Amino acid sequence: MNLTPKQLEVLELIRQCQNDHGYSPTMQELAEQIGVSKVTVFERIEALIRKGALTREANRARSLSIAEEITKKYDKEENAAVRFPLVGRIAAGMPIERCEDRDTLDLTNMFGPRIGQRGETFALRVDGESMIDEGILDGDFVLVQKQSTAKNGDRVVALLPDGETTLKTFFKEPNGTIRLQPANTAFEPIIVSECHVQGIVTGVLRSY
Catalytic residues: 130, 168
Q: Which residues contact 120 (CB under 8 A, 6 or more apart)?
A: 145, 146, 147
Give Cα 110 distance to the centre of its chain: 18
Q: Please return the burial class of 131, using the count of CB atoms within 10 Å of its CB with bins 0-12, 13-18 and 19+.
A: buried
